[in-house]
Structure 1
Amino acid sequence: MNQTEMLSISTFSKMSDVPRKTLIYYDRIGLFKPAFVADNGYRYYYRSQLDTIGMIHVFKEFGMSLEEIREHLSHRTPASTLEFLRKQEEVIQLQIARLERIGQMISMRAENIEHSIHVNTSYMQVIRQSRVPVLLSCRVHASKKQFPEDLWDDFQLRLQRENAPIGYPNGVIVKKEDLLKKDGDMVSHMFSRIETHFHEQEYMPEGFYLVSYTRADYGDTDKIYPQIFDYMEKKQYVVIGDAYEEYLQDEVSLQNPEEYLVRVMVHIKEPSIDEELLC
């Protein structure tokens, strides 16, 4: 065995970024053995073994135990390796989807807080909005003050199915028929702004929305609706769709629930005047 054609454990450790102690431990448990051990106990490795130690790194990142990796390597064939890698490929794709959703959640929460910092809660305005993809829960008709537990459970399962993490921003919808009765307390759905892959894609319609803000704890947002109805009557705005409630500041950024900031967007007919219209 020509040792000059092989890598010492120190050299192999530097090239593979695996500590010497780890390489020795891998050898002892039969996970990854050197190509040659000299009479003096020095370990030597083929350069090609860098490929194997690299895959062990990857397998560990998949969350595999050392015993699982050892079992695979000790019985590896092209066919078994191909099957194994395809399975891990599926795991990676799920992890990527999960990380993308986490990134969306972080961006959305940051944008909500950034937008909310200079909000004037005494001011209402009309905006024109493009169609927004949303995920909806099952439909109910329940008071915000007696929020149904099964609605929350249903929606969390739907978010999980979409690989959305716990804490993904969500809101509630008040239906048009309740708004026409001047009732802002009854909830029909929970929703999140998200493009769906496993559920039917729903949308917050394109159009004009009267936007209002208030400070309120969960379940107390009905207190803003009398002001909204009075303002709409004064401006002669016509309700043509639902109201969408979303918290821009919540427990993530505030310690006092009474200071949570909620945005209410009511879908209205295009105003005949545009003195307050923002595009």
Structure 2
Amino acid sequence: MSRNEYLTTGEIARMMGTTKNTLFHYDQLGIFSPEARGENDYRYYTVRQMDVLDAIITLRELGMPLPEIKEYMEHRSPENYATLLTKENAVIEQQIRALKEKQKWIQRQQKRIKTSLTINPDIIEEVSLPGFYIAAHPISSSDDKTISVKVSELLNSYYESKETTGFTVLYIQMERDLARGTHNLYHEVCLAMQTPPKKMPYRILPASKCLAAYHLGDWDDISLAYDRLRSYMKQHQITSSDGRFYEEELINATMTDKRSEYLTRIIVRI
């Protein structure tokens, strides 16, 4: 064997931007093996093998599992390679769609935070809300732990379903309870999404005009905001269209460690 015709494991690894250990692993799996072996079982590769290694590295970067790469390498053909690329292109397109949905969610969050920092918490205002797709868990509880558990269950369902649309968590109280002076009995926790989830059951909440009140501070005295909102509605002869009041956390523990800076929006559809 003429040494000048071959590349050592270290040489081809450096040229292809990979590592010797990766090449050893590929050899053990039967994915990519040296053209020749020398004394002490040294591995030697040819320049012609660089194209094959480049394809393997590219497929790995695309996220293809090693067993699938091995299967392809054992049945290489132009037709199979074209089929493989078509499959990987579909995967990339799906990933792009998911990333775009995440980007939209980030942009909505940025806009919401920016708006929240300019809100006067003492006002009551009319707002227009877009339609939402609502995935909900019933609770009928005022216990913080019970509510937190239900939110966790709902979020677990969301992530297990591999949904890609963003969401806002809503907590729902009923007008009949508020009329009796009960301000902390929640009947549902919801994920409000702007595109329909693929696997989670949901209902549609149509776009509507709403009244919004705000509460600055801890949730222990959120009843004050409810009283202000309901007094405003009574004074202006405004009624709820569905008997529900929706709480949305605009600023919470994710953004501040001071409870006095928490900001909650209470929305009622009219």
Letter of the structure 1 residue corresponding to residue 229 of structure 2: I
Which secondary structure state, in structure 2, belongs to the residue aligned with residue 163 of structure 1? coil
Shift, 1:87, TM fit: 9.9
Residue 265 of structure 1 pairs with residue 264 of structure 2? no
Shift, 1:120, TM fit: 0.6
Q: Deviations along 1:128-160, whole A, 9 cap, x unmatched?
A: 2332x2332222322265644552343123212
Residue 154 of structure 1 pairs with residue 153 of structure 2? yes
* Cα distance in 1, alignment partners of residues 16 and 250 from structure 2: 47
Unaligned ranges ≥5, structure 2: none
CA contact (8 A) 1:126 1:209 kept: yes
Shift, 1:253, TM fit: 1.1
Describe how 1:161-172 pairs up with structure 2 within 5 A.
161-164=160-163, 169-172=168-171
More displaced 10-residue stretch of structure 1: 1-10 or 223-232: 1-10
Letter of the structure 2 residue corresponding to residue 254 of structure 1: T
Aligned to 1:252: 254
Aligned to 1:230: 231
Describe how 1:59-78 pairs up with structure 2 within 5 A.
59=60, 62=63, 69=67, 72=70, 76-77=74-75
Letter of the structure 2 residue corresponding to residue 174 of structure 1: Q
CA contact (8 A) 1:126 1:208 kept: yes
TM-score, L = length of structure 2? 0.71
TM-score, L = length of structure 1? 0.69
Aligned to 2:44: 43
* Cα distance in 1, alignment partners of residues 187 and 222 from structure 2: 15
Aligned to 2:126: 126
Letter of the structure 1 residue corresponding to residue 156 of structure 2: L
Shift of the 24–59 alpha-carbon distance from structure 1 to 2, 3 Å rule, reads: closer
Number of equivalent positions: 261
Shift of the 177–87 alpha-carbon distance from structure 1 to 2, 3 Å rule, reads: farther
CA contact (8 A) 1:136 1:189 kept: no
* Cα distance in 2, alignment partners of residues 100 and 50 from structure 1: 33
Which secondary structure state, in structure 2, belongs to the residue aligned with residue 237 of structure 1? coil
Residue 140 of structure 1 pairs with residue 139 of structure 2? yes
Shift of the 109–234 alpha-carbon distance from structure 1 to 2, 3 Å rule, reads: same
Shift, 1:124, TM fit: 1.2
CA contact (8 A) 1:128 1:208 kept: yes
Which secondary structure state, in structure 1, belongs to the residue aligned with residue 228 of structure 2? helix
Letter of the structure 2 residue corresponding to residue 264 of structure 1: I
Letter of the structure 2 residue corresponding to residue 215 of structure 1: L
Identity of aligned residues (%): 18
More displaced 10-residue stretch of structure 1: 7-16 or 177-186: 7-16
Shift, 1:85, TM fit: 9.5
Aligned to 2:199: 198
* Cα distance in 1, alignment partners of residues 265 and 50 from structure 2: 59
CA contact (8 A) 2:167 2:192 kept: no
* Cα distance in 1, alignment partners of residues 57 and 212 from structure 2: 54
Aligned to 1:117: 117
Which secondary structure state, in structure 2, belongs to the residue aligned with residue 140 of structure 1? strand
Aligned to 1:243: 245
Which secondary structure state, in structure 1, belongs to the residue aligned with residue 138 of structure 2? coil
* Cα distance in 2, alignment partners of residues 233 and 74 from structure 1: 71
More displaced 10-residue stretch of structure 1: 118-127 or 44-53: 44-53
Q: Deviations along 1:170-197, whole A, 9 cap, x unmatched?
A: 1212234445556442222212232311
Aligned to 2:214: 213
Shift, 1:56, TM fit: 4.6
Unaligned ranges ≥5, structure 1: 269-279
Q: How large is the Cα RMSD of the aligned pairs?
A: 4.4
CA contact (8 A) 2:137 2:190 kept: no
CA contact (8 A) 2:136 2:202 kept: no
